[in-house]
Structure 1
Amino acid sequence: MPEMEVDEALAARLTELREEIRASTGREISEEELIGKIVGDAYESKAEFADSFRE
C-alpha cells in the first residue's frame, strides 16, 4: 500500500479510534486496517458520504 502523510491531528484521531476499538473489542487493529474499514464503509454508502461534504 502506498504511504500517506497525515498531520498530527489526524494521526491523533486515528490513534484514539484504534484505542477505542481495542477497549471495546479487546482486539488490536492496525492503522491500515482502520483506514480500510473507514474507506469501505464510505464506499458502501457513497451518496451519503458525498453529501457529507456539502455540510
Structure 2
Amino acid sequence: RIAAPTLVIAGADDPVTTVADAQALAGAVKGAALVSLPASHLSNVEAPDRFSDAVASFLLA
C-alpha cells in the first residue's frame, strides 16, 4: 500500500514497460499522477528536460 504522493513516468515508445503498464500502476496507487514522455525506456536520458520538468512540477505541486 503506497500512501505517499506518487508520480509514474512512462516513455510513450517504451517496448519494455508500456504506457498501458504505467496506466495500470498509476491506477493502482490512489491519487498517483501519470506523465507520458516522448521517449523509450530511458526517458530520463532520452528526454532529460521534459523528465526534469515533470519531476519538478510534481515535487512543487
TM interval, shorter chain, is under 0.3
After TM superposition, the score normalised by the length of structure 2 is 0.26
Query: Which structure's residues are more often helix, by fraction?
Result: 1
Query: Which structure's residues are more often strand, by fraction?
Result: 2
Greater gyration radius: 1
